[in-house]
């Protein structure tokens, strides 16, 4: 049974977000250009201040766990994509039980990336979504530039951002 947000007025459903076109699953920006101090092994620029280097934006995985239903599809998709054996995978679903002030309990589901997550480099380098993002049943996973994903986190609570690589 899918868990609904505690405050549905403040938090739009996954369906509402999809309807508003907010569920773009890949969040990318152009390459970052930065100036670094010049190591002795690198050529200096004409002014001698340093070299301009192109750094690809760091990629991450954002999970809006307010909407995670605990369906395990992300774990299954990861195992199938990478042919991981039993007991090994790029993502593990955690269940967090919290006692509320009224003595009832709340369960949060939070998929957690492991050391085996390579952010589906083979897929994303071809412009495809990571397997877990593609198969998430609640459309609650996002892959893209960390800086852009962090902007999403500014907008709402109950998000976790992973940067496994």
Residues that bind ligand SF4 (CB under 6 A): 61, 63, 68-74, 77-78, 81, 90-91, 93, 109, 111, 113, 117-120, 130-132, 136-138, 140-141
**Minimum Å distance from CB 6 to ligand SF4?**
17
**Minimum Å distance from CB 160 to ligand SF4?**
10
Beta strand pairing status for 91-99 and 51-55? unpaired
d(CA 125, CA 127): 5
The rounded radius of gyration (Å) of the Cα atoms in the chain is 19
Decide whether 38 or 118 has the Cβ nearer to ligand SF4.
Answer: 118
**Minimum Å distance from CB 45 to ligand SF4?**
37
Decide whether 110 or 150 has the Cβ nearer to ligand SF4.
Answer: 110
Decide whether 33 or 115 has the Cβ nearer to ligand SF4.
Answer: 115
Give the number of other CB atoms < 10 A from CB of residue 6: 11
């Amino acid at each position: 049974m899918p868990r609904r947000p505690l405050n549905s007025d403040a938090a739009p459903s996954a369906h509402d977000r999809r309807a508003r076109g907010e569920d773009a699953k890949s969040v990318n920006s152009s390459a970052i250009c930065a100036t670094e101090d010049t190591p002795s092994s690198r050529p200096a620029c004409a002014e001698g201040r340093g070299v301009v280097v192109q750094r690809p934006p760091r990629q991450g995985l954002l999970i809006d766990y307010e909407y995670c239903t605990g369906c395990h599809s992300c774990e299954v998709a990861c195992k199938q994509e990478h042919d991981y054996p039993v007991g090994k995978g790029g993502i593990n679903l955690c269940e967090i039980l919290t006692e509320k002030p009224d003595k009832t309990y709340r369960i949060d589901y939070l998929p957690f990336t492991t050391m085996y997550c390579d952010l589906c480099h083979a897929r994303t380098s071809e412009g495809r979504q990571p397997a877990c993002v593609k198969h998430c049943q609640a459309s609650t996973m996002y892959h893209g530039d960390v800086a852009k994903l962090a902007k999403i986190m500014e907008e709402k609570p109950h998000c976790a951002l992973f940067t496994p690589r």
